[in-house]
Structure formats: C-alpha cells, structure tokens
Amino acid sequence: MTDDLKLLWKDALKIIETGTSFVTYEVWLSSLEPVEITGNKLVMVSPTSMAVNVINNNYLDLIKNALNTINNNIADVAVISASDFSQYLKTRTLPETEIKEKKEEAKGEKTETEELIFNAKYTFDNFVVGTSNQLAHAAAKAVSENPGKSYNPLFIYGGSGLGKTHIMHAIGNQLKNEKPRLKVSYITSERFVNELVEAIRGGKEQSTKQFRARYRSLDVLMIDDIQFIANKMSTQEEFFHTFNDLYHLGKQIIISSDRAPKFLSELEERLRSRFQWGLIVDIQPPEIETRLAILKKKAENERYNVEESVFHLIAERIDSNIREMEGMLSRITFYSSLIGSSKVTYDIAVEALKDFLDDKKEVLTIDKIIEVVCGYYSVTKGDIISKKKNKEIVEPRQVCMYIITELLSVPLAAIGSAFGGRDHTTVMHARDKISELIQTNNNLATAIKDIKAMIQKK
C-alpha cells in the first residue's frame, strides 16, 4: 500500500468513525485495507468474506461518502475478501502503468473548494433538544437561517460526545439544502493544522497563498475542536488572520471546543477575546429524559426493535457521553442480532453488557432505593408498602416514591405496584407533594440529598 493510499484511508476512517457505531467500526470497518485505485474506484481487502457481505450490504455508501469527502475523484468502492484477492490480481484488466496514471490523476485533481458532504445522519431533525443543549441548538438554528448576521462567531463548547460535531454538521446540511450557493466548509482543527503545515512545507509563497485564498473565499467556516490548535503558535497566527478577514467581510464563523474560551489557556489572548465578540454557548450532559429520547430516536432511525426497559438500562448507566450511550445500544443490538433475536429484550441487553456491568455498580432498582430509605428512617419495608397512614410511615413512603421517580425512569404504574399495588396517581401525588415540600422545608431537602448520596454510593 502506498503512503498516499494509507493517508487517504486513514482520513476516511476518521469520518467513518463518526458516522457509525463503535461495534460496526471495530468489527467490520477498521480492518479494511486499501490496495489500489483503479479509475475512480478504490479497491479494498477485508479479512473475511462474511465481513465483505456485511460491508457490501450496509456500509458501502458510508465508505464512499467518506472517501469522496476527502478526494472527490473517488466515486466507487469495491471490497473483496483476502481469499479472493489473488484471483482479483490475476483477472484485473488494467495494466500496471495505467493504474499508476489514474492514481496520479486522482490525487492531482483536488478542486479548490473541496466540497464537503456533511454526514447525512447529523441533521437538526435527528438532534434531540433538551434543557442541556437548547441554547446551543437555538443558536445553531439561528446561524443556519441567517449566517453572518445573528451570532458571529458562534462558539459552542462542551464535553466529549455531547453533540458539538453533530450540531456543526446539522448547520452544514441545512445550509447545503437551503442556501446551496453559499460556500460552507467544515474542518477539524487537526486537519487545519495539517493543511497549513503542508502548505508551508510545499514551496512557501504559492501554496500558503492558496491555503489562505481557499479559506478566505468561504461564506461559512466551521472549525471543530479548536482546543487542538491551542498550543500551536503558527497555526493560531494563521487562524487569527483568517478569522479577521472572514469576520470583517460578515462571513459566519462557528467554532467548537471542549471547554470555554477562558479555559483555553494556551490560546493567544487576542483570539480568545475575539471569541467573545459573538455568542458563547455550552452543551451540558443531558438529563435522563433527553438521554432516553436520544436512544429512542437512534433506535427508530436504525430500525432497531428494542424493549423500552433497555433504554432505561442504558440511560441510567451512562450520563455524560452520548457517544458511549449509542455505543452501548449498538453493542446490545449487535449481540441481539448475533443470537438471532428479532427483538432486543432486557435480558438480552444485560447479557450483552455482562462484562461491562460487572465492573460497574450494580443496576439500581426500586428495591434498593426502598432499602436505603427504610434504613434512613428506621422503618421496615413491610411498613412502607403497607396501607398504614400514620405520619412516621407516610413520609418515608412518599420520599421513597419521589426518589424513585428522580433516579429511575420507570413508569409510575410500575412504582405503584411495587408499593403494594397502589395506583399511579398515588405515586404522582407523592412525587408532586415532596417536590413542593422541599422548596420550603430545608430539613426534608437535606434528608433527601443525604439519602440520594447513600444510594449513589451503594
């Protein structure tokens, strides 16, 4: 494999990785090896014929799009198994020299705009909005409707796997559909650095000029993960000038980062202060409702048939990284399909996550919460689920119900039935009453905080 091919594929893999689950990526895609480009087709070898089938049936478009993003001369992909490879070499019609020529052609013809195909899965439609991300979502929407005019620059920050890249692609997709004449570019700051280094290395003036011209002709520039240029002075310098030019021309700039500008300590002050000119919004880890909604949407999009309880199992265990949550769902559905089940049930999910769950905390259940609350108030479980109405029992019972609704996302009816067959309205009443009480009753609020802490430690 030549270095060019290696590089091309390495870049493509990065895009592919963002567009797929980690199971798919690990199991099927990461082991592909590119062998040659013939015409506009990249030929790749996969270790097994099973993998070839899976890839041909499911992932060819993903691979094609990724390759095409990097080199728009590549329009097609052929995947063959390692065992068919020698046969392929014998029957292939193109003579060696012609392949070489085609290859030269393919890599020489980089068009200046390098049109990017945004990941079709990362749209606003597929983005679930909750309190944790609504500001970022609203700002991104405003910017895609009025680029350069609403918030400029738009700076989005938040932890890994919380949807920054998704939002940027969503802006790109929307602009591509609704304002197709605009020149929109998305680039990771890693790639920005690499391109700049290449430009500087490749014969000074001419290529750095081209580099500049390319960026300065854009209408919308998105730079993802800006923290990567924080300690690279010459890149910052270049970016600073690009930023100024675009800004003064009224062109939209969108930046993402894993932390707020003020914590990008290695970033030059003049850049940092420019980020303040626009709007800075954060994305927080999503609350449980949003996590559930994201999982459901994902399952719906992928046409997975998943039992409701499985979503809860995942959403309760992972709360700060959506990518991990999706990875877990993929792992479960993958396992489910391997054992030939048409529906992903709770039991299958637990089995699929066995290794994972083993070294984490036990799954939190209604029973465990009841146990802790009983311990705290020195009452018995029998009392709590009984029909007794004295104050010493009613308060712990209601606190218990309240905490369950807070920590678990099980249906109210299920909670009711765990409390000696009570109605869901009883649970609702308990929940609302306690949440109202803790607004004014500090003792109760503290008690609940302590109980929750005890439960988390379990």
Q: Peptide bond before 153: cis, by omega within 30 degrees of 0?
A: yes
Q: Which of 165, 185, 242, 330 binds Mg ion (CB under 5 A)?
A: 165
Integer distance in angstroms from the first to the last C-alpha of the chain?
Answer: 53
At its nearest, how many Å lie between ligand ADP and the CB of residue 246?
Answer: 22
- Residue 194 binds which entry of ligand ADP, Mg ion, none, CB below 5-8 Å type-dependent: none
At its nearest, how many Å lie between ligand ADP and the CB of residue 289?
Answer: 12
Nearest to Mg ion of 36, 224 (CB atom) = 224
At its nearest, how many Å lie between ligand ADP and the CB of residue 225?
Answer: 7
Considering only residues 93 through 122, tell me which ones interact with ligand ADP, judged by CB under 6 A: 122
Q: Could you tell me how many helices (H) and strands (E) the chain has, helices first?
A: 23, 8
Nearest to ligand ADP of 294, 349 (CB atom) = 294
Within 10 angstroms of residue 398's Cβ, the number of other Cβ atoms is: 19
Q: Under the criterion CB under 5 A, does residue 257 sit at the interface with Mg ion?
A: no
The identity of residue 30, as a single letter, is S
Nearest to ligand ADP of 162, 372 (CB atom) = 162
- Residue 160 binds which entry of ligand ADP, Mg ion, none, CB below 5-8 Å type-dependent: ligand ADP
By beta-carbon distance, which residue lies closest to ligand ADP? 163
- Residue 219 binds which entry of Mg ion, ligand ADP, none, CB below 5-8 Å type-dependent: none
Tell me the CA distances in angstroms from 316 to 99, 284, 295, 331, 445, one per residue in order.
53, 17, 12, 16, 23
Helices (H), 19-130: 22-24, 49-58, 60-70, 82-91, 96-108
Instruction: List all residues 6 or more positions away from 125 whose beta carbon is below 8 Å from its beta carbon.
Output: none
Euclidean distance between CA atoms 196 and 275, whole angstroms:
21
Residues 299-328, one symbol each (x = binds ligand ADP by CB under 6 A, - = not), give: -----------------------xx--x--
The region of 82-90, 96-104, 159-167, 268-276 touching ligand ADP under the rule CB under 6 A is 159-167
SS3 of residue 122 by DSSP: coil
Output b/e per residue, 153-173; b: 16+ Cβ within 10 A. bbbbbbeebbbbbbbbbbbbb
Euclidean distance between CA atoms 221 and 243, whole angstroms:
9
Nearest to Mg ion of 164, 431 (CB atom) = 164
Instruction: List all residues 6 or more positions away from 398 whose beta carbon is below 8 Å from its beta carbon.
Output: 430, 433, 434
Q: Which of 147, 163, 172, 278 binds ligand ADP (CB under 6 A)?
A: 163
Q: Which of 294, 314, 373, 400 binds ligand ADP (CB under 6 A)?
A: 294
At its nearest, how many Å lie between ligand ADP and the CB of residue 162?
Answer: 4
Euclidean distance between CA atoms 373 and 328, whole angstroms:
31
At its nearest, how many Å lie between ligand ADP and the CB of residue 188?
Answer: 10
At its nearest, how many Å lie between ligand ADP and the CB of residue 167?
Answer: 7
Within 10 angstroms of residue 361's Cβ, the number of other Cβ atoms is: 10
- Residue 304 binds which entry of Mg ion, ligand ADP, none, CB below 5-8 Å type-dependent: none
Q: Which of 118, 127, 311, 419 binds ligand ADP (CB under 6 A)?
A: 127
The long-range contacts involving 450-455, CB below 8 angstroms and separated by at least 24 positions, are 450/376, 451/372, 451/373, 451/376, 451/399, 451/403, 452/403, 452/406, 452/407, 454/372, 454/375, 454/376, 455/364, 455/368, 455/369, 455/372, 455/403, 455/407
**Cβ–Cβ under 8 Å, residues 274 and 261:** no
Tokens of 396: 């712990």
At its nearest, how many Å lie between ligand ADP and the CB of residue 79?
Answer: 24
Nearest to Mg ion of 46, 330 (CB atom) = 330
Indicate the helix (H) or strand (E) that contains 354: helix 354-358
Output b/e per residue, 116-132; b: 16+ Cβ within 10 A. bbbbebbbbebbbbbeb
Euclidean distance between CA atoms 335 and 354, whole angstroms:
11
- Residue 133 binds which entry of Mg ion, ligand ADP, none, CB below 5-8 Å type-dependent: ligand ADP
Q: Under the criterion CB under 5 A, does residue 189 sit at the interface with Mg ion?
A: no
The region of 81-89, 154-162, 379-387, 400-408 touching ligand ADP under the rule CB under 6 A is 154-162
Q: Under the criterion CB under 6 A, does residue 133 sit at the interface with ligand ADP?
A: yes
- Residue 220 binds which entry of ligand ADP, Mg ion, none, CB below 5-8 Å type-dependent: none
At its nearest, how many Å lie between ligand ADP and the CB of residue 121?
Answer: 7
Total residues binding ligand ADP (CB under 6 A): 18
- Residue 311 binds which entry of Mg ion, ligand ADP, none, CB below 5-8 Å type-dependent: none
Considering only residues 347 through 366, tell me which ones interact with ligand ADP, judged by CB under 6 A: none
**Cβ–Cβ under 8 Å, residues 82 and 45:** yes
Which positions touch Mg ion (CB under 5 A)? Answer: 164-165
Q: Which residues bind ligand ADP (CB under 6 A)?
A: 18, 122, 126-128, 133, 158, 160-166, 294, 322-323, 326
